[in-house]
Homo-oligomer: A and B are copies of this chain.
Amino acid sequence: MAKIAPLSGFPELLPEERVVEREVIASLSRTFELHGFANIETRVVEPLDRLAKGGEIDKEIFVLQRLAAEPGAKAELGMHFDLTVPFARYVLENAGKLDFPFRRFQIQPAWRGERPQEGRYRQFTQADIDIVGRDTLGFHHDVEVVRVMVEALGALPLPPLSFQVNNRKLIQGFYRGLGIADVTAAIRVIDKLDKLPAEAVAEQLVEQAGATPEQAEQCLQLASIRVGDTSFVDQVRALGVEDDLLDEGLRELAAVIDGCAGVVSERVTVEANLRIARGLDYYTGTVLEVFMSGYERLKSVGGGGRYDALASDGKTTYPGVGVSFGVSRTLIPLIADGVLSGSRKVPSAVLVAVTDEDGRDSSTAVATALRARDVACEVSADAAKFGKQIRAAERRGIPFVWFTQADGTHQVKDIRSGEQVEADPSSWTPPEADLRPQVLRAGQDTGSPESRTR
């Protein structure tokens, strides 16, 4: 049989790499739960008419169909391409059984048939938090979801992250107060600032949004404001535009920046960045994107915002605010670059050696005694020479090997230091740092808080 090639765009992890993803997901889940977010999972498929709305994303949708379907049968199901569309449908479908505001987190794969590249995969895992209200949803939840995600990502051993926050009311109010003819077009054009030079954007503002060259200049000045505190308010005021919606946007953005002051750190910063627009139409207030230091080429590794109509059944509208974090987009490049790795290939902290096959039961009894105190361990696969059993532990990264002596006493060897001591299977426990596989960050010590997620 020919060598099996990986499928492009469908990355898989080796066991020691999966340790990283698993611990990151466990850490995220813990933070979300501490803040009262309930976990849900949605099915992977949605009716195609709920997914395909005529937008850019349509051509990336994967459809699902039985192999035994009639030839030419029309596909009715598609794989979800994010977690927002299925969540909105879940809220509508179960509205009568949910309590609002409904706070949920969801960590699942999504699928897009796009061209694979670093950080972009055909199957990728996302971690989303959202708070959804029925009819209304207090603005303070905007502050809350951003703060929760800052805290959640701050607990991970990632390179420094930057939350870049803006507010659609601020932009819209500013453009309106300025007298720009087509505010929506202006937002779409400003969103191109990371791809086009400022002059080109200014030209498009004139051509596509009906701005005068002076107005376009002021739009660019607004977009150039980027600060880590609320001094942006005075900088915007200095541009001399007056508008009620602008005032509201300034207040809201200032509240988000202020509200995060207690959770920012060297590892996660939060800035007001007035060029962030997020092209999608449904955002109506807070908008944000998350960038990772040294990995700006991935573009944002997370993002989100406020949407006044996450879902609607015609009678009732469900406003929401949420942030999404790209688990695969972030971790797979970091793992590939050796920035993050798992400390071992197996959960076992101890390999219990087997002296001869007749003595396997006594080795199993030792393992059972250790497991009773939550020490993960495995019994050696065969009664090879001790040196070979130790090398088997070494290859897997298992730190300790346990020996039962002929006289019934026990010894445990730390194979990193070579130190071997007498031990009692009913009381011996490895150091806390050795109990579970850990996430290691290149250039940092094992066991420091920086390099551990639990």
Judge whether A63 is part of the interface by a CB distance below 8 angstroms.
yes
Question: A48 touching B61 by the CB < 8 A rule?
Answer: no
Question: A382 touching B52 by the CB < 8 A rule?
Answer: no
Judge whether A13 is part of the interface by a CB distance below 8 angstroms.
yes
Q: How many copies of this chain are found per oligomer?
A: 2
Judge whether A45 is part of the interface by a CB distance below 8 angstroms.
yes
Interface size on A, residues (CB 8 A): 87
Question: B6 touching A93 by the CB < 8 A rule?
Answer: yes
Residue of B12, B43, B140 near A12 (CB, 8 A) is B43
Restricting to A363-384, which residues have a CB under 8 Å from any CB of B?
368, 371, 374-379, 381-382
A1 contacts which chain B residues (CB < 8 A)?
A: 92, 312-314
Residue of B6, B14, B103 near A378 (CB, 8 A) is B103
A140 contacts which chain B residues (CB < 8 A)?
A: 357, 360
A8 to B60, CA, bound (A): 25
Q: Closest CB of chain B to A97's CB: distance in Å?
A: 6
A377 to B31, CA, bound (A): 11
Restricting to A346-397, which residues have a CB under 8 Å from any CB of B?
346-348, 357, 360, 368, 371, 374-379, 381-382, 392, 395-396
Residue in chain B with minimal CB distance to A114: B66
Question: A67 touching B92 by the CB < 8 A rule?
Answer: no
Restricting to A1-40, which residues have a CB under 8 Å from any CB of B?
1, 3-4, 6-7, 10-15, 18, 22, 33-40
Q: Closest CB of chain B to A312's CB: distance in Å?
A: 7
Judge whether A118 is part of the interface by a CB distance below 8 angstroms.
no
Q: Binary interface profile of A, 133-174, with partner B (CB < 8 Å = 1, else 0)?
A: 100001011001000000000000000000000000000000
Restricting to A26-85, which residues have a CB under 8 Å from any CB of B?
33-45, 47-48, 52, 58-68, 75, 77-79
For the A-B complex with A22-B39, A34-B374, A36-B347 known, give 6 more contacts whose Cβ atoms are closer than 8 Å. Answer: A4-B92, A15-B40, A38-B346, A59-B66, A61-B68, A62-B65
